[in-house]
A and B are shown apart, each in its own frame.
Chain A
Amino acid sequence: MEEKKYIDRLYQEKFKDFEASPREEIWQKISVKLQQEKKEKSILLPFWKRTAGVAAILSLFIFLGEWLNPPGQTPIVNNESEKIDNPKSETSLTTVDVPKISTPTESTNGNELVQAEEIRQVRRDFISDISSISALGISEYSSFIEAITTPLPKEEKAPELNRDPVLSLTEDTMKPLFEEEQSTSEGVRVIVSTHAGPIYYGNLKRGSFLDPKFNNNSTESEVTYSYGFNVAYPLTEKLKIRSGLSKVTMSHNTNNIAVYSGGNPVAIANVVFEGNSVPKVEAAMNKKEPPVTGISYDRSPLSTSSMGELNQRIGYIEIPVELEYSLLEKKININIIGGASTLFLDENTISLSSASTPTTTGEANNLREVSFSTNIGLGFDYDLSEKIKLNLEPMFKYQLNTFDAASGNNQPYYLGIYTGFSYKF
């Protein structure tokens, strides 16, 4: 079988010292790419670290502030001191007690509300600062991408080196290479993603968030949206930890509310309406127009009523901390995600509307400023390119201590289907 070896020998002989010079252009292309990579790493990464760091610190301050100075306990300077404590119980009138709904309660309530409102406003300012910083982060990011993709100035020509192939690698050649690489290799694998998606709000227990008398009313959740961004950092090959910032709003309607235009005001337990107006509502027993019933306490004409609904709209700034574990890694990756979020109340609106009365708006007074949720979900990622992925993440988030202790044992949750893109640095 000499023939076989013949060809082998021929090629081995001829190619033993075979070398070929590539065009100078090739080096130019390589060095341009190296510059780009270096610039990207050194500019974008510290910036993201800083932004995320600031957001985390600010949220920590707010949390501490909440802890040290919870609402409802600020001292109120007022001569009607006996009516100060627990103003919530004042508004949940179940007995018809018209004469007592008079100035003393109003003024203490007013002061208490103003104080609480101030505290909330300060928190809102902090929260909007965080959102504006993160918004700034996102806009800065896109302007940095632009800066990087503009062409770089031409490099000066490299000096002619001794091309002796026998030159052995000296330490002087190798060392700087290693050092350069070390300085740019930290934190290389951060993944930033943005997401948005519809939210469905619900309650695991049958009951009303607003007033126990509506516990049997039908409710429905309106589709609302959440949007935000996440930063993920790999801990091991399959496990990542991530945090981020997002805005989530929920909205639900309570139906079959009978709204009376005359008669006695009967407040809704957990709702405070604007101008301290107290509406006149009852839960309607069935879906038809409730019959005109009864006479009013002060013998005013019979009240008329119509069907209405109560809408509650809640908004939070959410800071999640979650772990992402990779179950399957192919073109489409499947992960399981679990963790918890801190929720800062950002929006709280109640509106009562019906055919016959103008819409009254107010807010819930039983929502905590800071609450939490435990989250679980699945993540599906599709690789669009080496660095960019498309994400789809259905998540179930069960809320904890959303409401103040007194308002029944409801178990709110929300389901979201988050979609977005992620970019690997």
Chain B
Amino acid sequence: MKAQEQLYRLFSNKLFAVCLKYSSSYQQAEDNLQDAFLTIFKKISQYQDKGSFEGWMKRIVINTALQRYRKQTLFEIIREDHLKEPELEIDEEMIPVDYLLKIIQELPDRYRQVFNMYVLDGYSHKEISEILKISIGTSKSNLARARNILKEKIEATHNLTKARSV
């Protein structure tokens, strides 16, 4: 038991961050973390030095997060204007991480998953298409849409704050 607790204490912060990125709420992220760690402890004998241990655990966390959505049918309303490319630049310093996290959680599930996997966790479109069972084209367009939504939101807030500070 002690060894398991030690492992938890060492890695829970990093892995909880992963959970937060992939979930649509704080509550869901907590559930994910629990399930992921139970899986990690159960499967630990299967880890055979294939790459970094932290990476192995992270993959389990991501899989646990994705499994939640596997059985959902996807009826997402696609708004055409999300396909347009945004234009303005934004002052990075002013945007807090919490806000970025919040808007990621607000994304439709599929967009969020693809964005996280491609941009933050280094999966290729091919790998994403295999894991999520979608076509590579869908993966690419989901990514584009995710980027646009995020950009729009950031800009909207930024313009608001800029307006206020003037």
List the interface of chain A (C-beta within 8 A of B).
3-4, 6-8, 10-15, 18-23, 26-27, 29-31, 33-35, 158, 161, 163, 165, 167, 169, 173-174, 176-178, 180-182, 185
List the interface of chain B (C-beta within 8 A of A).
1-10, 12-14, 16-17, 20-21, 30, 33-34, 37-38, 41-42, 44-45, 53, 85-87, 89-90, 92, 95, 97, 100-101, 104, 115, 119-120, 144, 147, 150-151, 154
Q: A8 touches which one: B5, B33, B41, B119 (CB < 8 A)?
A: B119
Given that A33-B38, A180-B3 are contacting pairs, would A3 and B95 also be in contact in the complex, using a CB cutoff of 8 Å? no
Other than A6-B89, A165-B13, give 18 A-B pairs with Cβ distance below 8 A.
A4-B144, A7-B119, A10-B154, A11-B115, A13-B92, A14-B95, A19-B17, A20-B17, A20-B20, A30-B8, A33-B38, A158-B9, A163-B10, A173-B7, A174-B53, A177-B4, A177-B44, A182-B45
A-B interface, 3 closest residue pairs, ranked by CB to CB distance from nearest: A176-B3, A19-B13, A177-B3
Which residues from chain A contact B100 at a C-beta distance below 8 Å?
10-11, 14-15
Which residues from chain B contact A10 at a C-beta distance below 8 Å?
90, 92, 95, 100, 154
- B1 lies within 8 A of A3 (CB): no
Which residues from chain A contact B38 at a C-beta distance below 8 Å?
30, 33-34
Which residues from chain B contact A181 at a C-beta distance below 8 Å?
41-42, 44-45
- B87 lies within 8 A of A3 (CB): yes
User: A23 to B119, alpha carbons, bound, how many Å?
Assistant: 28
How far apart are A197's CB and chain B's nearest CB, in angstroms? 33
Nearest B-chain residue to A38, judged by Cβ: B1
Given that A8-B147, A18-B97 are contacting pairs, would A27 and B13 also be in contact in the complex, using a CB cutoff of 8 Å? no
How far apart are A79's CB and chain B's nearest CB, in angstroms? 74
Which residues from chain B contact A18 at a C-beta distance below 8 Å?
17, 97, 101
- A21 lies within 8 A of B6 (CB): no
Nearest A-chain residue to B119, judged by Cβ: A8
User: A413 to B52, alpha carbons, bound, how many Å?
Assistant: 60
Which residues from chain B contact A182 at a C-beta distance below 8 Å?
45
- B147 lies within 8 A of A23 (CB): no
- A20 lies within 8 A of B16 (CB): yes
Max chain B Cβ within 10 angstroms of own Cβ: one of A21, A22, A23: A22
- A27 lies within 8 A of B119 (CB): no
Which residues from chain B contact A11 at a C-beta distance below 8 Å?
100, 104, 115, 119-120, 150
Nearest A-chain residue to B115, judged by Cβ: A11
User: A177 to B4, alpha carbons, bound, how many Å?
Assistant: 6
Given that A20-B20, A26-B30, A29-B34 are contacting pairs, would A158 and B13 also be in contact in the complex, using a CB cutoff of 8 Å? no
- B5 lies within 8 A of A31 (CB): yes
- A26 lies within 8 A of B33 (CB): yes
Which residues from chain B contact A27 at a C-beta distance below 8 Å?
5, 8, 12
- B33 lies within 8 A of A22 (CB): yes
- A176 lies within 8 A of B2 (CB): yes
Which residues from chain B contact A34 at a C-beta distance below 8 Å?
1, 4, 38, 41
